[in-house]
Structure 1
């Protein structure tokens, strides 16, 4: 009986440790794989990846919706802040920022912006910047992550207009000018 109790305690300890390891490291591992794939498709970090229209065979983005047009940027803040833009459109559109552990750290949609464009400047806590007055400053908890733009496609006839609008967003290094300071 004592031997059985030792085995049960051992199995319980292994189960708890395994569970904690999986919960702690799986999100980062999955995000690292997704960011690697996005960077490979885009030609590097801080560059846009614009996938083709979603079909039943599309799987670059986890569980993509066929009524959404996506644009993605794998950001890397190790060389400085990154600037991303979201342009307004006739249909719902959004920009979301995800940290390297899959946490959604910021989101904005076309309903929340005034005018035709919103600029987001993404930085780490250590990076000090003076963004332009109309920019939204977002502090990321990690150097790497994803920026995801989504646009609703209301019909196949709308696809050309939605595709054009999603190609007008930007993602790249943020360079302050004297007028920003």
Structure 2
């Protein structure tokens, strides 16, 4: 009987630990990140480019000074969101993270544009008109982040990468 009780306590503790590590902590990390971005004025459904990384502009531990970053907060619970990013002549990527920090989509921007339609699972079957060719579809339940990274080791390269943000979209689709 004693061993059975100890086994039940162990199983309950393991299940709780599993839930906390895989569900609660990542969701809290992303919620905190989204709150801090909102406090800094990062709008929903709009790309925001970060300044070139230097010791004075770094807000996270060890960002690469050779990369240009742009981020977009989005929420699919209000409807579909279209994410696009122009290609780049060197290394570039578009990554999408869900509300639990899972990387749910990655596309290379090395010489090619990327287009992703983000849909809430309740919108399954929806297909807005006027989407770019080769648009991929990803289903996400709620809020998340999209991140563009481009190799830009010089100020000139950073300026060119920064200018591409005007050609990117992070728009609610009605």
Considering the TM-score relative to the shorter chain, is it more than 0.5?
yes
Matched, 1:52 2:51: yes
Instruction: Quote the residue 1:38 is aligned against.
Output: 37
8 Å CA contact retained: 2:90, 2:110: no
Partner of 1:20: 18
Q: CA deviation at 1:36?
A: 1.9
**Structure 2 length as normaliser, TM-score?**
0.79
Work out which of the two has the higher radius of gyration on C-alpha atoms and give 1 or 2: 1
Secondary structure at the aligned position of 1:172 is classed as: strand
> Contact 1:84–1:121 at 8 Å: present in 2 too?
yes
State the partner residue of 1:118.
Answer: 114
Matched, 1:147 2:138: no
Task: Mark the CA change 1:41 to 1:138 in structure 2 (over 3 Å): closer, same or farther.
Answer: farther
Report the counterpart of residue 92 of structure 1 in structure 2: 91
| Structure 1: 5+ residue stretches without partners | 176-181
> Structure 2: which 5+ runs fail to align?
none
Give CA deviations for 1:30-89 in whole Å, capped at 9, x if unaligned.
0111122223334532122222111235125x6421111111011111211011111012
Offset of residue 9 of structure 1: 7.6
Tell me the secondary structure at the aligned position of residue 96 of structure 2: strand
Q: What's the C-alpha RMSD, in Å, of the aligned pairs?
A: 2.8
Q: Would the alpha carbon gap of residues 133 and 110 (structure 1) be closer, same or farther in structure 2, given more than 3 Å must change?
A: closer
Aligned pairs, number: 168
Partners of 2:82 and 2:169 within 8 A in 1: yes
Using the size of structure 1 for normalisation, the TM-score is: 0.76
SS at match of 2:77: coil
